[in-house]
Amino acid sequence: MTDLGESRALSVSDSAAELEAIYVDLHRNPELSFAEHRTARVGAEALRAAGCEVTTGVGRTGVVGVMRNGAGPTVLLRADMDALPVHEQTGLEYASTATGTDPGGNEVPVAHACGHDMHVTWLIGAARALAASRGRWRGTVQFVLQPAEELGDGAAGMIADGLFERFGTPDVAFGQHVGPMPAGEVFTRSGLIMSASDTLRVRMFGHGGHGSRPETTVDPVVMASSTVLRLQTIVSREVAATDSAVLTVGSLHAGTKSNIIPAEAELSIDVRSFDETVRRRVLDAVHRIVHAEATAAGADRKPEITAEGTFPATVNDESTTEAATARFREHFGAQRVFAAPLVTGSEDFGVFASAAGIPSAYWFVGGTDADRFAASAEAGTLDSDLPSNHSPLFAPVPHPTIDTGVATLVVAATGVLTSH
DSSP of 313-377: PEEE-HHHHHHHHHHHHHHH-GGGEEEPPPB----STHHHHHHHT--EEEEEEEEE-HHHHHHHH
149 is catalytic: yes
Q: Write the CATH number for 215.
A: 3.30.70.360
Q: Which residues are annotated as a binding site?
A: 114, 116, 150, 177
Q: Is pLDDT above 50 for 411?
A: yes
139's enclosing H/E stretch is: strand 139-146
Of 50, 72, 45, 68, give the one whose Cα is nearest residue 141: 68
Query: Is there a single domain that holds both residue 78 and residue 216?
Result: no
Domain that holds residue 258: 196-310
Q: Which residues are annotated as a binding site for Mn(2+)?
A: 114, 116, 150, 177
Confidence of residue 15 (pLDDT cuts 50, 70, 90): confident
Q: Is pLDDT above 90 for 49?
A: yes
Query: Is there a single domain that holds both residue 333 and residue 286?
Result: no
Q: Please, what is the Cα angle at 396 between 392 and 398, to 5 degrees?
A: 140
Helical ranges in 50-153 per DSSP H: 116-132
In contact, 414 and 72? CB cutoff 8 Å: no
348 is catalytic: no
Q: Write the CATH number for 358.
A: 3.40.630.10
Query: Is there a single domain that holds both residue 45 and residue 156?
Result: yes
Phi/psi of residue 51, nearest 5 degrees: 105, 15
Rounded CA separation 420/213 (Å): 77
Q: pLDDT, tens digit, for every residue of 309-322?
A: 899 999 999 999 99
Higher pLDDT, 278 or 104: 278
DSSP single-letter state for residue 97 = -
Minimum mean pLDDT range among 6-10, 73-77, 296-300: 6-10
* Cα end-to-end distance, the chain, whole Å: 20
Of 310, 333, 366, which residue sits at a domain end? 310
Integer CA distances (angstroms), 85 to 96, 111, 148, in order = 11, 7, 13
Kindly name the residue from 80, 82, 171, 264 that is annotated as catalytic. Answer: 82
Query: Is there a single domain that holds both residue 340 and residue 264?
Result: no
Kindly name the residue from 88, 117, 149, 264 that is annotated as catalytic. Answer: 149
What is the average pLDDT across 351-366? 98
